[in-house]
Structure 1
Amino acid sequence: MSELRFVDVCAGAGGMALGLEHAGFEPVLLLDKNPVACDTVRRNRPAWQVLETDLLDFSPSQHQETYDVDLLSAGLPRVRSSATNARTETEAELRLLEATVYLAHAVQPRALVIENVPELVSVPDFEPIRDLIRDELNHLGYGFRWFLLNAADFGVPQNRRQGLLVAFKKQHFDAFRPPEPTVREHLSVGRALRRSMAMGGWRDADRWAAQAVGVAPTLVGGSDRRGGADLGPTGTRKAWARMGVDGGTVADNVPGPDFVWAPEAGRQGMVRITTDQAALLQGFPSDWGFTGKKTARYRQIGHASPPPVAKALGLAIRAALAAPATPVAGYTSTP
């Protein structure tokens, strides 16, 4: 496959970019304001150009290689309902959404993909930002659609629903089809982690894996301003407890031969997952390393876009760009 060029903003630890690379795209620039995440990408892909900067401060005029790329991708910080979260945080996340669309105005990619929470697709709280995006993309001559995907349908052992916006220059839009699931059976937590759980000599690894038959609940990275590494809020921790996993913290190492797994005894009898195992649950390959201390590593993983989903999106976008173009005259945009 010939490579297509893309720019990835709010790139984080590189999940979106890695998946797009596997779909035959070549990054010309990745940018993120988190220095630890930038170090992670540089460690794994030294040849990639990684820029440590805030998207709100980025000027494409100083990076001419970003113009006329095939794809602009963005796995943006998750927006939250203003009814349940601090208004300032919500507004900051929405500004990044606006900035991505305005960047498309400057860069003029043939395609655009934005990944975020599923609520962004249809919840009334976000209608104003959807209206802004619709008006701007129509003005720029893009056709677009919102849709949902679940990472579990693409071989990721996690129930992670994602809200997607995909846009194309109108002559390419009619050829786009959202990616279809790549697996018939979801990969369970036990199957995904059994081998790693046994690496320290833990004798109950097989017994634990045999009962961890579901996919993981959504990994939550949390805020950089609060708390340490844990697997999510109360409801998520209860789901982990049903699989015999203590979701209140993240382990430094896999269990050793002397660990007694007795989940009926409470947290002290439950197994804990490591950051490396969390990365497997997010769909990263085992050789993708993360820099920083434990909490920083876990947050990078929890905030990441799962690479297998990004690959499926990339292949669908690539197919649309390769298809015969539709004449623009007579085109009707998707609302």
Structure 2
Amino acid sequence: MINRDLALFVKNLMPEFENSKDPNKPVSIWKELDRLRGFPEKTVVCIFRTNGCAWYKFSSCSMCGYFNDVSSGIIDENLFKQIDILKSSLNGAKVLKIFTSGSFLDPREIPKNVRDYFFESFKDSVDKILIESRTEFIKQETLDDIKRHKIPLRIAIGLESANDYIIKYSVNKGTNFNKFLSAAKLLRANNLELRTYLILKPPFISEKMAISDVISSVRAVAGYSNDVSINPMNIQKNTMVEALWKRGLYRPPRLFSLAESLLKSRDSGTEVLSYPTGGNRDRGVHNDEFDGKLLDLIVRSSLNQDFNELDEYYNSIDKSKYYMEIDLEDRMIFQSDYKKLVSHLSESVMFY
């Protein structure tokens, strides 16, 4: 379940510092569109500042930089004040998405009294809430407790891949597919909804392999998930993926790969969507040539669950260079970002 050498390496990349941000304010609050009730609508998104993910205390996932936002000194009173700030920010929105840099259902991160205060604060003002949790915190007694608040809920689990080898050696997730299945079945038995997160192109697998993995993973989880979010890799600070990327040994996935993954997963039996972070930027999913229309169609298709226009546009593009590049990469040891690698070599950068 754990590759200890990899976990230690990832941990050593994480900086030793104490976040000086105001503990009474969330990391961020913003509005975006999502379809948690089956149609696109304004959704308020909030990242609470907490003491961090339980897995981060031991190591971290290879691509996750959310530990940059945690504060070890967070107490219940800080979280109460953050909830109050969020409540004043709704402006009529009826749907909430909550992130914590970890697990909302982890009692060490969100104590039960804080969780109760959160649900009581919003039970008369919102109609749907999405929260996130690792599988180990999805327990019957916890679900019994949150169901009594009678707020329609969708719980998101970051599975990342249905392939245990990738979970262990690429993502460093500290869990496995069977634990996901157990949690998913428990949610279904309790009539609670599930959003499954999958990652497109974790480190140490080629882009061609990544497309195949994410498509097979969608099909593996479709029967348990109300929707599946395909999250293309974005480069976050102080992570192992960033360390590889800075040396030209990793390239974020291409928009073509994300479009193909969505189009080949749309008939899986559940809703498949993607709202890429950092799209068309160097640290996010991007083609060699800027393509704003393709990114826009990916998001629009995800929101409307109508992929016809995306399909038509994707198939109208000459992708011969793209196929050549991912075929070549598939034969390489590393998923190199060739332009960055050449730049490093020209500057005589040493690799360690």
Structure 2-normalised TM-score? 0.34
Structure 1-normalised TM-score? 0.35
